[in-house]
Structure 1
Amino acid sequence: MDELVHLVVERGIATITLDSPRNRNALSAQLRRELRAHLTAVIADGAVRVIVLAHTGTVFCAGMDLKESRSADAEQQGVQEFPAILEQIWTSPKPVVAKLAGPARAGGVGIVAACDIAVAAETATFAFSEVRIGVVPAVISVTVLPRLNPRQAHELFLTGETFDARRATEIGLLNSAVAADALDAEVERYTDMLARGAPRALAATKEMLSSQRPSKMSEAFARMLELSAEHFAGAEGREGMRAFAEKRKPAWVPENSK
């Protein structure tokens, strides 16, 4: 059986590529299994600094494989596995960048929303098409709703309307939409910047960004003071401040970075 998800690691950048163009990179059981395995491997790999989710073919991801999902067993398996994939991406201690040369639909949009950074070609389109086939965009709402304001979410979830990359950027689903021939350079720009961050500091910052804020401001400040002090006194903080004083790159920055 041919592999549907490929992994390449170069210069600390792990690129995980969906390669099932025959079904528009739909989330079949095999693709889900391989995607989870590669995510698990790169999250555990100390040499990996940044993760990029890319694709072959004209479509980033069309969502769940509806042909497989017609059976009750397959549908139940997908319901259990897909949230785990979204959670892996969302909680990854390493930044995850989505690279879209083409459209995303349904669960594919959920993956985009779970990533820390999302970059797409201007020609890419998006849609929450679930209501048009009689289902609810329930699972993906966990990652998508934190990205969108309520008015936009109501409109797009309820209508199933297709929208372009420009609007996806305006509403917070994407960080950047660029010409197709500039996509590689734009993704590289983000990965280079992310690789400059200290690994533990990046992981702690991701956790901070997704954590629930205390209801009292005084409690929030107390918690953030503890976090700040921990990292100022930590090995990365000391190395970063030494490097700044000595006008050099910190030890964690790849030697060939810009």
Structure 2
Amino acid sequence: MFMTLEIELNGPVATIWMNRPELHNAFDELLIAELTAACIALDADTDIRAVVLAGRGKSFSAGADLNWMKRAANNGVDDNLNDARALAKMLRTLAEMKKPTIARVQGAALGGGMGLAAACDIAVASSKAVFATSEVKFGIIPSAISPYVLRAIGARQATRYFQSAERIDAARAREIGLVHEAVEPEQLDAKVQEIVGALLQGGPLAQAAAKDLIRAVNGQLINETLVEETAHRIAHLRATPEAREGIAAFLDKRSPAWIGE
């Protein structure tokens, strides 16, 4: 049982609902701890194939709870460091889940909320959604979320928005790579389900390996070491029962065993 989250299960798909609508799903120590725990539990659940992260109410997440920030401002460096480590762990746990993850962004995703969207594998936004790295307005920096936002939009765009804290509408977010799709509000859930449907066609071990492959290859020089590593990765995967089943299903013109599980 969670106090700040609701977990909705629909067959092989789990939706994590941040459930503090009166506070625009802003996060504090409890939500950070609970979201970390939820990601760990769902990643370990072999019945779950995909995870959707969503927010109840008008906002996806307005980032850090102002009362939490106020408490942090009155704390010493050690307490602030512990809080920052917990936030960084939560984002990394979400980003490194073996299961595919989708952010369903229906409204404001500000500060850490934008970080949550960027930490998910795929982000789908309503045309009403708005994003910002607003930290500099509070005299701080988007430190914990920076690896995921930089991965999504690159250093050049981040250099602008980390300093200006400008609001980014859904169309602009798609243009700079922050979200994959921007649709009308009434189409949001259908688009999320469309992508979920595509994800469920893939082999779960292969999807986890694909995520790990991207982390290993991205930004690396193409040299003999990298080429050899990629050869080893595909060779090992081809020898797995999942790969044998996938190839056999294709040749037999049938669905592989993981579909419909």
User: Which TM class, normalised by the smaller chain length?
Assistant: over 0.9
What value does the CA root-mean-square deviation take over the aligned residues? Answer: 1.6
Q: Paired residue for 1:225, among 217, 231, 240? A: 231
Q: Residue 173 of structure 1: SS of its match in structure 2?
A: coil
Identical columns (%): 36
| 1:22 match | 22
Pairing of 1:155-166 with structure 2 (within 5 A): 155-166=160-171
| 2:52 match | 52
Q: Residue 99 of structure 1: SS of its match in structure 2?
A: strand
Residues 147 and 172 in structure 1, CA contact (< 8 A), matched pair in contact too: yes
For 1:250 and 1:158, locate their aligned partners in 2 and report how far apart those are by CA, in whole Å.
49
Q: Residue 67 of structure 1: SS of its match in structure 2?
A: helix
How many residues align? The count is 255
Q: Residue 8 of structure 2: SS of its match in structure 1?
A: strand
Pairing of 1:135-150 with structure 2 (within 5 A): 135-150=140-155
**1:191 maps to amino acid:** V
Residues 12 and 48 in structure 1, CA contact (< 8 A), matched pair in contact too: yes
Q: Residue 54 of structure 1: SS of its match in structure 2?
A: strand
Q: Paired residue for 1:236, among 212, 223, 242? A: 242
| 1:62 match | 62
| 2:216 match | 211
| 1:119 match | 124
Q: Residue 185 of structure 1: SS of its match in structure 2?
A: helix
Residues 18 and 25 in structure 1, CA contact (< 8 A), matched pair in contact too: yes
**2:189 maps to amino acid:** D
Pairing of 1:69-80 with structure 2 (within 5 A): 69-71=69-71, 72=75, 75-80=80-85
Pairing of 1:68-217 with structure 2 (within 5 A): 68-71=68-71, 72=75, 75-212=80-217, 214-217=220-223
1:134 to 1:104, Cα distance in 2 relative to 1, 3 A: same
Residues 110 and 134 in structure 2, CA contact (< 8 A), matched pair in contact too: yes
Residues 33 and 90 in structure 2, CA contact (< 8 A), matched pair in contact too: no
- CA drift at 1:216: 4.6
For 2:159 and 2:224, locate their aligned partners in 1 and report how far apart those are by CA, in whole Å.
34
**2:260 maps to amino acid:** P
- What are the ranges of 5 or more consecutive residues in structure 1 without an aligned counterpart? none
For 2:15 and 2:82, locate their aligned partners in 1 and report how far apart those are by CA, in whole Å.
26
106-115 or 217-226: bigger deviation: 217-226
Q: Residue 60 of structure 1: SS of its match in structure 2?
A: coil
- CA drift at 1:31: 1.4
For 1:2 and 1:93, locate their aligned partners in 2 and report how far apart those are by CA, in whole Å.
22
Point out 4+ residue stretches in structure 1 off by more than 4 angstroms: 73-77
